[in-house]
Structure 1
Amino acid sequence: MTNGKKDILIIMGRYLPGYKDGGPVRSIQNLVDYLGEEYNFRILTCDRDHGDTQAYPNIKVNDWNHIGNAQVYYVPPKGFGYKIIRTLTNQADLVYVCGCFNDYAINTLLLKRLGMIKKPVVVAAMGLFSPMEFKLKYRKKKLFTTIFNLTGMFKNIYWSATTQMEVQEINQQIKIRNNYFIAEDLPRKVDNEIIIKPKEVGKLKVVWISRIAPKKNLLGAIKILQHVKSQIEFTIYGPVHVPEYWNMCLEELNKLPANIEWRYEGDVESELVVASLKKHHVFLFPTLGENYGHVIQEALSAGCAAVISDQTPWECFEENGFGHIFSVNEVTKFIEVIENYAEMEQMQYQIVSFKAFNYVKDKSIKASNNTGYRKIFNVFH
């Protein structure tokens, strides 16, 4: 404990200034932004972003760096050795590990099992046990969980889940009893800027932003727009994680009718996401599964109406007047609401935009005041 505050060591694959991993980086950045005055956050992470061959510029590797409200220790790829993990964990009051299938997580769990880490270890599920996510590399993950269950590697640890549903998903693979906490992901902080968006009847600016990978279902969004008759400007943001999938998307993009004008804007740095979204009217996101969906929160905070799938924890959009939630198979409904938004005039749309912004601002205040992370960090003495 330093300066009367608990020292929390977070071990994760990537952190700032990286952004290509999307949700996990955003989750921890939001946690540090909100609670960095209450706890001493130290983060052990890789020195480069997803797919990069070079370390971030202007950082010290194998040493501490002051990043926002946290101290960050960067190591090169495969640098999560037993020695550094053991050293840093024993300097902390609590260890928070993001995920359990990576080298850093496996090494931490092994050290804990062997009694070389004395401090409490909490493993964040990070959505990895959702049916859709667990299917990816299923054999490897099933073998891993089976061996770790048999050898008692999960015996003396705690789990962090975002919902009760995620607890049930973890429990399908790993038997857990009372050794879990529920801490919903904290949203990005929302500014107070009033957002005014020009809007012409019959025209609509639609945006999709995420990692370009099958789970995020860009292909589904494109196929919805193939049937829309209004004048649409469709903008795609995000890193290409699965090149073969992006090629499939390009094939369908080239089939879009003349009334749909599309462009791909590539990666967006995390701090520029909301500013980029403010240029658009509707966030179209028929995702196949989200543990939280930071991009949904970010789109709403940018004053966008949101038209999303029912595979996220978000709900009550239609009742609150700023969006719609459908099954991914309800393509006709997606098409109808896109057409409806296109037909809106400025004032009608602006009311929707204000409702989106105000809803997510209130939600972010409540989430930070009632966060389950404090329970995790304060329960151990």
Structure 2
Amino acid sequence: MNELTEARHPEGVEAPPASARPAAGYRVVATAGVFEPGFRGGGPIRSLRFILDTLPDDLDVTLVTRDRDLRASVPYPGLSGRLVRRDDRSAVFYLDPFAPRHWARLVRQIRSQPVDLLYLNSLWSLFSVLPILAVALRLVSVRAILLAPRGELSPGALAIKTYKKRLFLAMWAPLLRRLGVRWQACSWLEENQIRANVPWAQVMVNGNECPIPDRPAPPVVVPDGPLRLVFVGRISPMKNLTTALEAMTVVTRPMEFDIFGPREDEQYWARCRSLVTAMPEHVRVRYRGELAADEVMPTFSRYDAFLFPTLGENYGHVILESLASGCPVVCSDATPFSALIADAGGVVVHPVTAARLSAVLDRLADRPVGERAAAKQTAGRRYRQWRREVREPNVLDHARRFCG
């Protein structure tokens, strides 16, 4: 294959003829380590899908992403090395980073027309580092660069492999500054985290990345019995599942706790398994495997609360999915949604220790069935009120004005 190949979108959208596509008024090349049809990357995948689905008509975006899901050993069937048009405004190129021909085709594609904006979704990813180097070496030319660190500069994230990350940032930041890189934060919380580590940063704050529409909540059904808790997320130190399990070992009321998510860190998962073996008889904990994106909300609707002691979320799609499904959230205060969580029948725990979590869970377990049902109704109703209040523009439309 000598040139980029256009293909049918995974959902079945035919690529329109080139002559039928409108001329791009503003051309964006975006990068991300993982995208659909993958799902293990969590919230950033949903953010990017929403951004691409809501583009203004005069933007044209090419998203460059890996040709396989997170930690997958084989590529998506029929997509590696192909350019897939999603619609008239966006396309996705599925890249094998170890295939030189893919890189050559990609550079030719990017250099075929002027690029107004390079939009990078990660600070550390190969899919951000290499494009920055390509711009610095003048292999490609772009008018502006916008970098979304996606929570990578939160205190919780920086506490993991902290020496390597801080050393890299110390060496990398001067180049970013020289290139005039600007930054996107999803909330005031992330804006403060960026400025704490990159004081010179020019930061655009835009959190309009929620793909969940304002649709009716599922009917609330709360059977009598133990408190039913769920964890949905990547099983990694950042999501802090061990603290949830430590709390479960000391609760005094009967509870059930189901865990869903990819085992991203096997050493960390081993620690989780050892805690599960220490559970008292009145607590049942089960690992239920991974969830595809379309299974997440139906799953949440079956539980009394989402237990999520995360060390930090720049956005937190999974929180909104839980609330939209009528599932209150028990969470740390390291997310942008503390006020919404508390207002929607949930609990924000600070500091998020096992002792504090266990006390909260025992109180929730003491509630009668009617109160559990009312809390689930409150969660769904309050989410819909919040969703109707979102008024920010599309992130890339905002970036066009912000970057000049």
Whether TM-score is above 0.5 comes out as yes
**2:133 — aligned with what?**
110
CA contact (8 A) 2:229 2:306 kept: yes
Aligned counterparts of 1:321 and 1:12: Cα–Cα separation in 2: 32
**1:14 — aligned with what?**
34
Shifted more, 165-174 versus 301-310: the winner is 165-174
1:260-279 to 2 correspondences below 5 Å: 260-279=283-302
1:164-313 to 2 correspondences below 5 Å: 164-177=188-201, 179-184=202-207, 186-190=209-213, 192-313=215-336
Unaligned runs of 5+ in 2: 1-20
Aligned counterparts of 2:164 and 2:342: Cα–Cα separation in 1: 42
Unaligned runs of 5+ in 1: none
Aligned counterparts of 1:325 and 1:152: Cα–Cα separation in 2: 36
Over 3 Å counting, the alpha-carbon distance change for 1:31 and 1:232 in structure 2 is: same
Q: Deviations over 1:13-66 (max 9, x none)?
A: 11001111212222212322343767433211110011111111242x222113
Aligned counterparts of 2:90 and 2:50: Cα–Cα separation in 1: 11
Over 3 Å counting, the alpha-carbon distance change for 1:108 and 1:82 in structure 2 is: farther
Aligned counterparts of 1:268 and 1:37: Cα–Cα separation in 2: 33
Aligned AA for 2:379? A
**2:167 — aligned with what?**
143
**1:353 — aligned with what?**
376
Per-residue deviation at 1:293? 1.5
Identical-pair percentage:
24
1:93 counterpart SS class: strand
CA contact (8 A) 2:208 2:395 kept: no
Aligned AA for 1:107? L
Aligned counterparts of 2:387 and 2:380: Cα–Cα separation in 1: 11
Q: Deviations over 1:223-271 (max 9, x none)?
A: 2122223332211000011111111111111111222222111111122
**2:182 — aligned with what?**
158
Moved over 6 A (4+): none
Match of 2:60 among 33, 40, 48: 40
1:38-117 to 2 correspondences below 5 Å: 39-59=59-79, 61-67=80-86, 70-79=90-99, 81=103, 84-85=106-107, 87-88=109-110, 90-115=113-138, 116-117=140-141
Per-residue deviation at 1:131? 2.2
Match of 2:46 among 17, 26, 39: 26
Q: Deviations over 1:55-106 (max 9, x none)?
A: 11242x2221134774111011335747624632645432211113222312
Question: How many residue pairs were aligned?
Answer: 379
Per-residue deviation at 1:311? 1.5
CA contact (8 A) 2:24 2:58 kept: no
Aligned counterparts of 2:343 and 2:33: Cα–Cα separation in 1: 37
Aligned AA for 1:88? I
Aligned AA for 2:362? E
Aligned AA for 2:247? I
Aligned counterparts of 1:38 and 1:348: Cα–Cα separation in 2: 49
CA contact (8 A) 2:313 2:336 kept: yes
CA contact (8 A) 1:182 1:372 kept: no
**1:323 — aligned with what?**
346
Over 3 Å counting, the alpha-carbon distance change for 1:306 and 1:218 in structure 2 is: same
Q: Deviations over 1:284-314 (max 9, x none)?
A: 1111221122111111111101111111121
Per-residue deviation at 1:370? 5.1
Per-residue deviation at 1:152? 5.9
1:40 counterpart SS class: strand
Aligned counterparts of 1:150 and 1:202: Cα–Cα separation in 2: 58
2:390 counterpart SS class: helix
Over 3 Å counting, the alpha-carbon distance change for 1:78 and 1:164 in structure 2 is: farther
Over 3 Å counting, the alpha-carbon distance change for 1:260 and 1:70 in structure 2 is: farther
Over 3 Å counting, the alpha-carbon distance change for 1:36 and 1:232 in structure 2 is: farther
1:170 counterpart SS class: helix
1:365 aligns with 2:384: no
Q: Deviations over 1:129-171 (max 9, x none)?
A: 1222123333333333333344566532211112344334333
1:251 counterpart SS class: helix
2:272 counterpart SS class: helix
So what's the TM-score if we normalise by structure 2? 0.84
Aligned counterparts of 1:102 and 1:91: Cα–Cα separation in 2: 24
**1:134 — aligned with what?**
158
- After superposition, the CA RMSD in angstroms is 2.7
